[in-house]
Homo-oligomer: A and B are copies of this chain.
Amino acid sequence: MVATSTTSARLSVRQRGNSRPPATRFDKRLGQILAHATDVFCKKGYEGASMRDLSRASGMSLAGLYYYFQSKERLLFLIQKHTFTTIVERLKVRLEGVNDAEQRIRIFILNHLEYFLSNQAAMKVLSHEDDALKNGFALEVAAIKREYYRICVGLLDELKRERGLQFSTRIAVLSLFGMMNWIYTWHNPRVDADADELARQMSEMFLRGVMNGARTRR
């Protein structure tokens, strides 16, 4: 059970770079199964969900599920990998050609909120099953998450350099992730602001917070 077997290799090829190959029927089916599995993990928790639950929800036979995915753990791995790879890839495209440090942080926040608000079940699963994966799976996901974390650290370090600011980058970055990730516990699309407006307000609050009282540009 290694992370580079056929399914996950195809998934990562599809996600790499800007020139995506057209999604195949297989890719679409894979995406659907991951979405169903995400819903099941979201409702029952990773420990509480069985392969039988996952089979029922996805409409794939139990035998088929074992054949293609081998284990519940590998399904969770694919969900986590898929999510973080997609977010990082989109972010890189959006940051291209933008040089202003403040603007780059605003893009980071918008990109994160936009993804998570349209994938709230995935967001809950990622937050709750953070430590459910072991060994190779855990290492591979940790590497993508570390890359994402480091991009954010880099953006804040740019801002500090550009404006001559002093603050703990670690606490600032993790506070920002907290503000953004916590929304899965409270965001109600019927009454709360959408991703654009939420990103604008959180960006204002966060940027003012780290910029020592210097006014931010609108």
Contacts and interface: CB of A to CB of B under 8 A. Distances in A.
Interface string A193-210: 100001001101110111
Interface in A159-193: 167-168, 170-172, 174-175, 177-183, 185-186, 192-193
A204 B168 CA distance: 12
A215 interface: yes
Nearest to A47: B48
Contacts of A46: 45
Contact of A208 (B183, B193, B209): B209
A168 B182 CA distance: 17
A131 to B, nearest CB: 9
**Copies of this chain assembled into the complex:** 2
Nearest to A132: B45
A130 interface: yes
A216 to B, nearest CB: 8
A124 B203 CA distance: 27
Contact of A209 (B168, B177, B209): B209
Contacts of A47: 44-45, 47-48
A150 interface: no
9 contacts: A127-B185, A128-B128, A171-B198, A174-B186, A177-B182, A178-B183, A205-B209, A208-B211, A208-B213
Closest 4 CB pairs of A and B: A178-B182, A47-B48, A209-B209, A205-B209
